[in-house]
Structure 1
Amino acid sequence: MASPVSICWKQSLMEAATAIYDGRADVASEILTRLSAVPNPKGNSEQKLMDYMLSALKSRVSPVENPPPVAELFTKDHMLSTQSLYDLSPCFKLGFMAANLAILEAASEQPSANKLHVIDFDVGQEGQYLNLLHALSARQAGSQSTLKITTLADNFNSEESLRLVGDRLSELAAKMGVRLEFNIVSQKLSELSRDSLGCEPDEVLAVNFAFKLYRMPDESVSVENPRNELLRRVKGLAPRVVTVVEQEMNGNTAPFMTRVGEALACYGALLESIESTGARDNSERARAEEGLSRKLRNSVACEGRDRVERCEVFGKWRARMGMAGFESKPLSQHVAESMKARLSSGNRVNPGFTVKEENGGVCFGWLGRTLTVASAWR
């Protein structure tokens, strides 16, 4: 239950957001100044949420005095913060695992092929593929499996950082007896093709979009619409499966007031769930919370190309994938049951985390609120 103090804070913040939306910056500033004067120890998730939203609305009113995070979302620090979030939160960690299972199921549908090729547009750190290598190693029956990973270098993922990821994965693959090919390509969207990505006829081709699409500008930002262009290009590659894992939040084209309310609910649940997984003095938890602060502030304070955080709800992703020519490939009962089993194992099990199947996707949540959804397409 939210405390009376929390309800009061949220009401005041929503009043300030309403004033901003109505163009009454002076009223918003007065409310935000009053809220800033209230002592906030930032000791628990509620207090941190209020601090993050207060900072976001200040940036919205006075972006020169309170610059919102934009370039910071492309730094190594933010990448490490994001990785800490993925490691700490079962909602993210299990999303990656569900995508891996969907990829392995697609590979098993073509048993004659012993080569799996995954194209990933944002490998990030190697976490997802550590798990995939473990799974491939366990499934090997006599003949050695081959995993080829092709990833694209861009401003966020430089060739140097990707090469380090490839080196770490190659070392692990060798220990597990899996043959790994790790390829880095640097191409424009318009140049993507099966040939340019090194796709071969005797391999199972999978494309992995894990927390990638929401960061790409869409038609509301650019007439070029890179998000839809990428999906169309990927459809042209004719992959056996495309996996999508995204944060569940109506934060892209929603009106400003809806976006603020969604951010309070979604990031409040995320902060609360992280609070249940790591001690207060845990440095990884602190790093994850810093990343969430930047994400929330960017989502609320920025517009146009400066707004990097453009999360959608699963229903919108379903519509977008359909428009690009994809059909849903519902994740099997096995995937959902495997995720539930993982959630109930381990030393720090928390009943607040949930897993459920819905409309062909597997939803991961906290106390009834879905926070991430994994789905598969072809």
Structure 2
Amino acid sequence: MMQFTENPPPPPLYPTRPRPDFPNSAKSLGSFNNAACMEQLLVHCAHAIEANDATLAQQLLWVLHNIAPPDGDSNQRLTSAFLRALLLRASRSGSSISAPATPHHPQLPLRLSAISLAGFIDLTPWHRFGFSAANSAIADAADGFPVLHLVDLTTTHCMQIPTLIDVLASRPEGPPFLRLTLPSTPASTSPPPTLDISLDELGSRLVNFARSRNVGMDFRVVPSTPADGFHSLLEYLGANCNNAGEALVINCHMMPHRIPDESAGGILSPRTVFAKSLRSLDPSLVVLVDEEADFTSSDVVTRLRAAFNYMWIPFDAVETFLPAGSEQRRKYEAAVCWKIENVIAQEGVQRVERLEPKGRWGQRMRAAGFAGIGFGEEAAMEVKSMLDEHSAGWGMKRDDDDLVLTWKGHDVAFATAWVPSSATS
């Protein structure tokens, strides 16, 4: 077994194979301390781990361990998270490579109260972007209906709903009755942070909040999970959504990428089945919000490159407004590290962070019989107003009438709105 010490001398290189050039001491490691070099070192390390090349892996781990402390700058913290993910991958694969002195990261799972979770989500526009865009579109879809049936497929534990209730409460003709349905995704498969209260307690609080805004509300939970494309939930909706007096809206927020993306033999991809099942419900609106990246490759090195060139964004963003060592930053980055570890260290059904870009989801939705309707100026203004509350660097752009959240010009998340194609004919 390979032993990893705090500052071991790098082992000799194999003389017969070309290897990356490494410094002979920590004094010369400064030349490696930039994002491009760190990415290349991680890629070489991933190749070595996949090949079970303990000698090369040891040398790369030594360099990475010394240039990327978990409490360093944003690039160093990002690289440290990927280093830990690679070590976890090696340990879970049964590789002979081991490294006891792994970088320290906060322990998970991270469980928060409803108030703390709301504060956590409000730290950046990562989720609030989707909330703002979706709420405006949902309110428009409910216009003229006495009942709004909202199916909330989200990883944020209904944190969007209070703001939606406020929007509905301000409707001039009076608010619709709100029926809220959501899946009871097992806590063990939910990304951090999670709520420290049950769904029943959450539902009671939301109903009471709605009552305080003079909005009638019904809350129900259907046992279902993204692992099977929410099959049970979609069956339930098919049998219970025949009311002509209600607007059925499916709100997919940062959840679609958790549906498995592989097809087995001639069987349709679960994501394709999911989209077709949504269309069979003939909804008034489907809002799809997710992160703009591609983590679907079966090759871990390809995923590592894609993730490294996307996951720098949250580390860079929190650097601008959260002080080093703060509890808020510790918790926020712990959740980011969980995502990185899932993308790199897990495979099969355990790898749930399988992001797909907006264009691919658009193709899937159109093939299922949906048409994109874009967002109106009011929705765009809501998003822009929300972004004004956050640090400089965040922006929004339109892309084919969809809305895209950006950080320093780089795409972060997208919001799209869909209706059955027949509704636009």
TM class by shorter chain equals: 0.7 to 0.9
Residue 74 of structure 2 aligns to which amino acid in structure 1? S
Equivalent in the alignment of 2:153: 121
1:13 Cα deviation from its structure 2 partner = 1.7
CA distance in 2 between counterparts of 1:115 and 1:273 reads: 40
Moved more, 79-88 or 127-136: 79-88
Q: Compare the two structures and name the one with the higher helix fraction.
A: 1
**1:306 lines up with 2:350 in the alignment:** yes
Unaligned runs of 5+ in 2: 1-30, 225-229, 420-425
The alpha-carbon deviation at position 101 of structure 1 amounts to 1.3
| Structure 2 residue 241 is the aligned partner of structure 1 residue 206 | no
1:221–1:82 CA distance, 2 compared to 1 (3 A): farther
Please point out which of 320, 326, 334 is paired with 1:276.
320
Distance 1:220 1:278, change over 3 A: farther
Q: Hey, what does 1:48 align to over in structure 2?
A: 77
Aligned to 1:266: 310
Q: Shift of the alpha carbon at 1:218? A: 1.9
Say which of 208, 212, 230 aligns to 2:274.
Answer: 230
Residue 214 of structure 1 aligns to which amino acid in structure 2? H
Aligned to 2:24: none
1:18 offset after TM fit, Å? 4.0
Q: How does 1:69-84 map to 2 (within 5 A)?
A: 77=111
**C-alpha deviation, 1:255, in angstroms:** 4.0
1:215 aligns with 2:252: no
Q: Distance in 2 between matches of 1:360 and 1:126?
A: 26
Give the Å deviation of 1:119. Answer: 0.9
Q: Is the Cα contact below 8 Å between 2:82 and 2:340 reproduced in 1?
A: yes
C-alpha contact 2:147 2:176 (8 A) present in aligned 1: yes
Q: CA separation in 1, counterparts of 2:361 and 2:394?
A: 23
Mapped to 2, the partners of 1:308 and 1:184 lie a distance apart of 22
Cα distance per residue 1:165-195 (max 9 Å; x no partner): 2111111111111111111223561661545
- Conserved? CA contact 2:260–2:271, under 8 Å: yes
Shift of 1:366: 0.7
Relative to structure 1, the CA distance from residue 282 to residue 76 in structure 2 (aligned partners, 3 Å threshold; closer, same or farther) is closer
Task: Name the SS for the 1:139 alignment partner.
Answer: coil
Contact preservation (8 Å) 2:151, 2:182: yes
Match of 1:360 in 2: 401
The match for 2:127 is: 92
Shift of 1:243: 0.6
Distance (Å, rounded) in 1 between the aligned partners of 2:59 and 2:358? 37
Q: Which moved more, 1:9-18 or 1:126-135?
A: 9-18
Q: CA RMSD in A?
A: 3.2
Pair 1:297-2:341 in alignment: yes
In the alignment, structure 1 residue 186 sits paired with structure 2 residue 223: yes
Q: Which residue of 1 aligns with 2:176?
A: 145
Instruction: Give 1:343 shift.
Output: 1.2
Among 329, 350, 372, the residue aligned to 2:413: 372
Flag the 1:173–1:220 CA change in 2: closer, same or farther, 3 A: same
Most deviating of 235-244 and 162-171: 162-171
- The answer as to whether partners of 2:375 and 2:401 remain within 8 angstroms in 1 is yes
Specify whether residues 333 and 356 from structure 1 end up closer, same or farther in structure 2 by C-alpha distance, changes over 3 A only: same
For 1:244, what is the secondary structure of its paired residue? strand
> Post-superposition shift, 1:278?
2.8
For the structure 1 residues 42 and 123, does the alpha-carbon distance in structure 2 shift closer, same or farther, using more than 3 Å as the test?
closer
Distance apart, 1:153 and its partner CA: 1.7
C-alpha change, 1:236 and 1:195, in structure 2 (3 Å) is: closer
**2:86 aligned with 1:57:** yes
Q: What is residue 12 of structure 2 aligned with on the other side?
A: none
Deviation at 1:306, TM superposition (A): 2.1
2:204 partner amino acid = D
TM-score, structure 2 as length reference:
0.77
In structure 1, what residue type is equivalent to 2:373? K
How many pairs were matched up?
365
State the distance in 1 between where 2:76 and 2:112 align: 22
Q: Which amino acid aligns with 2:91?
A: S
Opposite residue 211 of structure 1, the aligned amino acid is M
Where do 5+ consecutive residues of structure 1 fail to align?
A: none
Cα distance, 1:208 vs structure 2: 0.7
> Relative contact order (alpha carbons < 8 A, sep ≥ 6): 1 or 2 greater?
1
Which consecutive aligned stretches of 4+ in structure 1 deviate over 4 angstroms post-superposition? 20-26, 64-68, 73-76, 78-85, 220-224
Q: Secondary structure at the match of 1:372?
A: strand
Rounded to whole Å, the distance in 2 between the matches of 1:193 and 1:231 is: 16
Q: Give 1:316 deviation, angstroms.
A: 1.2
1:150–1:185 CA contact under 8 A, matched in 2: yes
